[in-house]
A and B are shown apart, each in its own frame.
Chain A
Amino acid sequence: MNKIRLYGLILLLGLAGTAAASDQGLDEQVRALKREVLQLNKELFLLEEELLYPSSTQLAVFVSLDVGELFKLDAVTLKIDDQVVAHYLYTDRELAALRKGGVQRLWVGNVKQGAHQVVATFTGTGPQQRDYRRGATLDLNKGLGPKYLELKISDRTQNQQPEFTIKEWEQ
């Protein structure tokens, strides 16, 4: 985490404790609301997964970045069976989150059981600040359970080039 930003958040001594005691009632009401909304969020998130993306047809595609010094990602285009299903442009904030180890769920949807082809195209800036465009392809077989794919961008130090792969997850 960016300590410079972190330490920019200055908590004033003596004021850094709990919120004013006179606000206890309001504070507690806000806390209770947060609890309820969090619980509702979790339940609706699970319901959404069950209803909109049943495990028998669910395919989810994630993006991760390992180191990311040899390639600055601008955008990813995702095609499934020759249909563009996602095109995503990254902000600096999102790239920073990916570099720290975050994993973005780029797309989730439904596909029939059986054979499919997934093609991801990455555009950005590569070594020597050159425009860079690379693809990765995976032929997959969708079974009964949900299928998770990870589009991995990593630095290949041997030849100082970025590497783009698609990994199938078993979950």
Chain B
Amino acid sequence: MPLPRPHRMLRQAALLLGCLLAPLAQSAPKPVQDLAYGQALFHFYQDDYLTALTLLLAAQDTGKLRHHALDGELLIGGMQLSYGLHVEAEAIFRRLLDASLPAPVRNRAWYYLGRIAYEKGQPELAERALARVDAESEPELAGERQLLLALARLQRDDPTGAAAALEPWRGEPRTAGYARYNLGLAQLRQGLEDKGIATLEALGRDPAASEEQWALRDKTNLALGYHLIQRQDYRRARAAFERVRQDSPFASRALLGLGWLETAAGRHAAALAPLTLLQSRPLDDPAVQEALLALPHVHARLGDKAGAAALYRDAIAGFERELQRLRDAEDAVRAGALPDADGRLPADLPGRPYLVEVTAGHDFQQGLKTYRELLGLRANLLRWQASITSFDDMLLSRETRYAATLPAAERLLAELDVEALQRRRAALHAEFERIVAAGDAPALAIPAERARWHEIDALLARLDALPADHPQLPELRERALRLKGVLLWSLEAAYPQRSWDLRKALRGLDTDFRELDDRRAALLQARVDAERRFAGYRLRIAEAHERIARLLPQTERLLAIQAEDLQQRALAALHQRRLTLERQLSQARFGLAWLYDEAASRGETP
């Protein structure tokens, strides 16, 4: 029976870390004050980083991030980092370390610089950056910082420091389970067996309220169970495995663990139940394949040679079937079925479960992510290629419209005698100044008053024409002069308001003249600029055409290289998987042959 390798479980057990952009998310969204920022967030929250980045970069260029300049910078840096553009992201975060910026911005900048250093394999630098994060007041950042600090310390082989980084947990309660899981593993790695086991055992017994918590609990119990087998603590190992849910993705490995521990403890009969249960599960599961080989071994140990031989025969048939499925999977990969048009594993691929298993690793998933990003770039370039023709059309239409309106504009400019208008304005000003200097109230009379004034003057003239000895002349003249006096008095009374109104109107006229000058200048400038602007657009569109034409084949080439790389990795992993199955097949054949030999030596038939 092959030896169990419980340590492998722990070596492979991963520290769990939050998403790269988690600290960017606000616990409560603050109102958006720049539409462009909100628009980018709409795409960011749908994981469409390419569009979100494009919108933010364009908004920065056009000054549309007046209220969210810092938020925008942080978001751009975070997305660039996630998009693999480390150099650009680092430059942004370094800019955001400025002491004059708010502490939350600087904290996030330090956090991301730590993240970049960690990803570059520079744990000391990462630690130094993380030490500058003041995360006390920000639980969502505090937890991310603790997890990253633990990773950085493990990167430089310091499990003690990693464990210290996780205690006490300052992050959000919802993510405390991940911290405890990581803490337990770090404690085991530093040799603190009792502490590590106690940490994992407590987590493995925690009540779970969500599928996520159940999954973490199952994973913890599985890792703990295999570690306890290694320590030959079979009682606690059994309890850990039994805490794994039967319908969990970890259930097969838990059942296998139960089988191993009973066998290791010499209780072969007790091993039968979990191993037999495993037989009913899909045969492509590595745990089920191990059980396929272990079960006849246990039967043989219990003296049931006939049963063992039958089970070996079943195992041989099963391994042969699975080897054929593996070969089919290899053929499909060689034929280019991986990855599919969406950059994923095709749903109908022969031997798909094997590919799911071998492609689950981080490197492969990163490769697939890159492939999908390249697909996104290609789709983006194709979209521009299709829509840029409308740019040409729009430019043509604007040029045509411009050409149609140009003669009218030219005529208007030609007919506009600005100098004559200026002369009239100057004359008006001069007349006003004269009126003011002379206090000439009648000059500001309204038409009715002016008519009345003229009537009185005419009347006086007519009186002057009468004979000097006309008997009514003195009285008539006096009445006419009184009327003129009353009118003059009312003109004088209205004079201050009227002169003020007139001054204001003249000022308004000055403004209108300035605007006229500006518009005329703008029109003249537009006429000069139009050709240059149209030429500029033509150049920009032509350049874009050229760049799209150059970038598309480049993208295709990288897609092909990336696909080839993924296929080679998948084939290498499938090959390793095939070697394991072939070894298991040999062992089953050997086990059966041994049973036959033994039976023959006793003159029996197994």
Q: Which residues of A contact B (CB under 8 A)?
A: 1, 3-20, 23, 26-27, 29-31, 33-38, 40-48, 50-52, 60, 62, 64, 66, 93-94, 96-98, 100-105, 148, 150, 169, 171
Contact = CB atoms under 8 A, between A and B. Distances in A.
Closest 5 CB pairs of A and B: A103-B38, A101-B29, A102-B42, A1-B25, A15-B362
Contact of B38 (A4, A18, A48, A101): A101
Contacts of B120: 17-18
Interface residues of B, number: 82
Contact of B121 (A11, A12, A17, A104): A17
Given A30-B84, A33-B554, A51-B391, A9 B19 contact: yes
B401 to A, nearest CB: 11
Contacts, number: 199
A23 to B, nearest CB: 7
Given A52-B391, A104-B39, A93 B363 contact: no
9 contacts: A1-B45, A4-B210, A30-B370, A30-B558, A31-B84, A34-B84, A46-B62, A47-B391, A47-B544
A19 B362 CA distance: 9
B19 A40 contact: no
B548 interface: yes
A144 to B, nearest CB: 12
Chief secondary structure at chain A's binding surface: helix
B172 A3 contact: yes
Nearest to B16: A10
Contacts of B232: none
B58 A42 contact: yes
Given A13-B15, A38-B50, 10 more contacts: A1-B24, A4-B212, A13-B14, A19-B367, A33-B377, A36-B551, A37-B381, A42-B54, A48-B387, A105-B42
Interface in B72-129: 83-85, 88, 118-121
B561 to A, nearest CB: 6
A148 B36 CA distance: 11
Interface in B123-169: 151, 154-155
Nearest to A148: B35
Interface string B11-43: 000111111011011100111100100110111
B57 interface: yes
Nearest to A62: B35
B18 A98 contact: no
B62 to A, nearest CB: 7
A150 B37 CA distance: 13
B481 to A, nearest CB: 56
Given A30-B84, A47-B541, A64-B32, A7 B178 contact: yes
Contacts of B384: 40-41, 44
Contacts of B119: 16-18
Given A51-B537, A94-B46, A26 B561 contact: yes
A4 B19 CA distance: 10
Given A46-B61, A103-B42, A34 B373 contact: yes
A37 B83 CA distance: 12
B84 A27 contact: yes
B175 interface: yes
A153 to B, nearest CB: 14
B185 to A, nearest CB: 9
B168 to A, nearest CB: 20
Nearest to A93: B46
B17 to A, nearest CB: 5
Given A11-B362, A37-B381, A30 B374 contact: yes
Contact of A3 (B32, B58, B175): B175
A11 to B, nearest CB: 5
Given A1-B25, A64-B38, A40 B548 contact: yes
A43 B38 contact: no
B540 A10 contact: no
A6 B15 contact: no
A105 B52 CA distance: 12
A63 B31 CA distance: 13
B391 A48 contact: yes
